[in-house]
C-alpha cells in the first residue's frame, strides 16, 4: 500500500510506480512523499521494539 508519509493519505489508483514521478499528493500537495508500506513488516518491527522495551 502506498501512503503519503506527510499526511497519511492512501493512494488507491493503479500501479503507483507508473505515476510516481508526476504524482502530487491530493491532500498536502507534496511530491515524492509516498512510501510503500508493508503492514506485515511494520507489525514485526513494532513487536520487536515492544520486546526491547520490556
Applying CB under 5 A, the residues found at the interface with Zn ion are 4, 6-7, 9, 25, 27-28
Q: Closest distance between Zn ion and the C-beta of residue 4, in Å?
A: 3
Q: Among 40, 39, 43, 36, which Cα is nearest to 5's? A: 36
Q: Closest distance between Zn ion and the C-beta of residue 24, in Å?
A: 9
Q: Using CA atoms, how far apart are residues 4 and 26, in angstroms rounded to an integer?
A: 10
- Residue whose CB is less far from Zn ion, 10 or 44: 10
- Residue whose CB is less far from Zn ion, 29 or 44: 29
Give, as one character, the DSSP assignment of residue 2: E
Amino acid at each position: 500500500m502506498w501512503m503519503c508519509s506527510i499526511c497519511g493519505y492512501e493512494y488507491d489508483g493503479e500501479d503507483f510506480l507508473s505515476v510516481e514521478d508526476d504524482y502530487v499528493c491530493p491532500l498536502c500537495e507534496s511530491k515524492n512523499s509516498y512510501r510503500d508500506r508493508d503492514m506485515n513488516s511494520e507489525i514485526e518491527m513494532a513487536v520487536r521494539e515492544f520486546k526491547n522495551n520490556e
